[in-house]
Amino acid sequence: MIKDLVSDFVRQAPPYNFGLGEPVKSLRPGITEIYEMNKNENPFGISPLAAAEMKKQVDIETEKKAIQEPSLAQDIIQLLLKIVIIIFAIILIFTFLYGIARINDVSMKPAIKDGDLVMYYRLDKRFVSGDVAVFEDNGRNTTGRVVAVAGDTVDITKDGLKINGADQVSQDIYFDTTQFKDGVDFPITVGEGQVFILGDNRPQASDSRTFGCIDLNDVKGKVIAVIRTRGI
């Protein structure tokens, strides 16, 4: 033991107080050098209590690390949960907010071609002239451009389309607007909660010239994007 190697002379000497300088040497016979030690430093080795406390702290930190570092299985489970949440969120979004419909006609050609996909917003049915709406015609999804809303009077004469008596001219429409032989009678006034829709491809479109005004309840939503699936 280190304690047994310490001479009685050193053991009986007065303890050294921190901060005492060189003059202390003369008061301590046999001392030639003075070394300052940390306040918690023990010349006889580490205290058993201190060692036990250090081990305890190491065990606590090890346990914390084990808790904070998830295993591979936990990582996989968390990843799967995130994927399920994302899929569920997408389903909710496209069930209640947005919709996607495939268009299999040429009513809105060239803006929307046969086979294109359209994304529409379900909640906004405050249509204005020029908006494109998605609705069902004979059980299939189709699209058309809103040309008149509630309170407007629509007329189609030999001079073309008139809304509230004013001629309607659009650079994006490449065909004359004419009545269909077996269609509705004009002029027609759009009722409350209705819209009047025409296809851009006037000669081949299935639109309000055939079945009249469309109730907003029958409109699925407003087109916000077109996804072209065939050659332009």
Q: Which domains does the chain have, with CATH numbers?
A: 2-55 (no CATH), 99-227 (2.10.109.10)
At residue 109, the pLDDT reads 92
How far does the chain reach from its first CA to its final CA, in angstroms?
94
Average pLDDT, the chain: 83
Strands 153-157 and 160-163: antiparallel
Q: Report the share of the chain in percent with pLDDT over 70.
A: 75
Q: Is the Cβ–Cβ distance between 215 and 194 less than 8 Å?
A: yes
Is 59 buried (19+), middle (13-18) or exposed (0-12) by CB count in 10 A? exposed
Q: Is the pLDDT of residue 164 over 90?
A: yes
Q: Report the share of the chain in percent with pLDDT over 90.
A: 55
Q: Is the Cβ–Cβ distance between 100 and 118 less than 8 Å?
A: yes
Report how far Cα 191 is from the mean position of its chain's Cα atoms: 39
Instruction: Round to whole Å and give the CA distance between 70 and 48.
Output: 34
Tokens of 223: 């087109």
Residues listed for the chain: 232
Is residue 209 very low, low, confident or very high in pLDDT (cuts 50, 70, 90)?
A: very high
Q: Is the pLDDT of residue 12 over 80?
A: no
At residue 21, the pLDDT reads 52
7-21, 63-77, 128-142, 171-185 — which is least confidently predicted? 7-21
Provide the Cα torsion 24, 27, 32, 33; round to 10°. -30
Is residue 205 very low, low, confident or very high in pLDDT (cuts 50, 70, 90)?
A: very high
Is residue 102 very low, low, confident or very high in pLDDT (cuts 50, 70, 90)?
A: very high
Side by side, the strands of the sheet bearing 214-215 are 98-102, 117-121, 219-227, 132-137, 140-149, 194-198, 214-215
Digit-coded pLDDT (tens) for 53-96: 777 887 787 777 766 666 788 889 999 999 999 999 999 998 89
- Across the range 133-145, mean pLDDT stands at 93
Q: Is the Cβ–Cβ distance between 216 and 126 less than 8 Å?
A: no
**DSSP 8-state class, residue 15:** P
Tokens of 44: 């006889």
Of 201, 56, 228, 68, the residue nearest 143 (C-alpha): 201
More confident residue, 184 or 17: 184
